Amino acid sequence: MPRTVYYTVTTLDGYIADPSDSLDWLLRQPSDETDDTFFAGIGATVMGATTYEWLLRNLEGPWPYSMPTWVMTHRELPMPSKDEDSEDPDIRFAKGSVADHYVEMCMATGDHDLWIMGGGDLAGQFVDEGLLDEIITWTAPVTLGSGRPLLPRRLDLELLEVDRKGPFVVSRHKVIGALAEDQ
C-alpha cells in the first residue's frame, strides 16, 4: 500500500510561502543537500493551483516531473511549455473532493508513494478524509510572521525521525488524527 506523504519546506513559524507567494527566503538557502531517497520512492504527486502557477512562473527549462501529477483547480490552467521533441508532461487537472481522485492517484504511483506537494490546505483536505499518512518537513532557519500556512488543521502527530541537512531540520511525523482535545 503506498504511503501518502506531505513533503515540504517550512519556515520555523510554519509558513511555506510568504503572503505574496514568494519563496525567495527558501531559494537563497544552500542547496547542496538533496533527498534522493525520498524522491526515488515517489510515484505520483498532487498540488494546488497556486503551487502549479508558481512553478509555471518560475520554471527554468522543461517541466521537472516525469511522474503523474494532479493539479487541483476550479479553473482552466495552461500546460507547461515544452520542446517540440520532448514528451508531454503527465498533468491531470481535477477538482472537488480529494477522496474522489485518491484511488486513481494511488494506482498511478505503481506501488510507490503519493507526494502531496502543497499547499497546506490541500494537505489538510487529505487529512480531513483520513488519507494522509506522514508529514516530512524541512524547516528553514527563517521566520516570516505571516504567509501561506504549513497545515491549517488541529492534529496530533507522532515524531518518527529527525535529521539535520545543512541549515535545515528535517523531521518526519506520522499523522495520528484530530487533536485529542477536539474529540
Ligand X SMILES: NC(=O)c1ccc[n+]([C@@H]2O[C@H](COP(=O)([O-])OP(=O)(O)OC[C@H]3O[C@@H](n4cnc5c(N)ncnc54)[C@H](OP(=O)(O)O)[C@@H]3O)[C@@H](O)[C@H]2O)c1
| Residue sitting closest to ligand X (CB) | 48
- Which residues, including other chains, have CB under 8 Å from residue 98's CB and lie 6 or more apart? 46, 72, 122, 125, 126, 129, 131
Could you say whether residue 72 binds ligand X (CB under 6 A)?
yes
Could you say whether residue 73 binds ligand X (CB under 6 A)?
yes
Cis status, amide bond into 124, omega within 30 of 0? no
**Cβ–Cβ under 8 Å, residues 69 and 91:** yes
The region of 34-42, 49-57, 80-88, 158-166 touching ligand X under the rule CB under 6 A is 49-57
CB of 181 to ligand X, least distance (A): 26
Among 6, 125, 136, 172, binds ligand X (CB under 6 A): 125
Could you say whether residue 90 binds ligand X (CB under 6 A)?
no
Could you say whether residue 44 binds ligand X (CB under 6 A)?
no
Residues that bind ligand X (rule: CB under 6 A) add up to a total of: 28
What is the Cα 151 distance to its own chain's centre? 11
**Cβ–Cβ under 8 Å, residues 162 and 169:** yes
The region of 32-40, 90-98, 155-163, 174-182 touching ligand X under the rule CB under 6 A is 90-98
CB of 73 to ligand X, least distance (A): 3
Grouping H, G, I as helix, E, B as strand and the rest as coil, residue 139 is strand
Give bridge partners of residue 6 from the DSSP assignment.
116, 135
Could you say whether residue 124 binds ligand X (CB under 6 A)?
no
**Number of alpha carbons in the 13 Å side-chain half-sphere of residue 70:** 28
CB of 169 to ligand X, least distance (A): 14
Whichever of 117 and 170 has its CB closer to ligand X, that residue is 117
Could you say whether residue 8 binds ligand X (CB under 6 A)?
yes
How far apart are alpha carbons 56 and 75 in whole angstroms?
A: 15
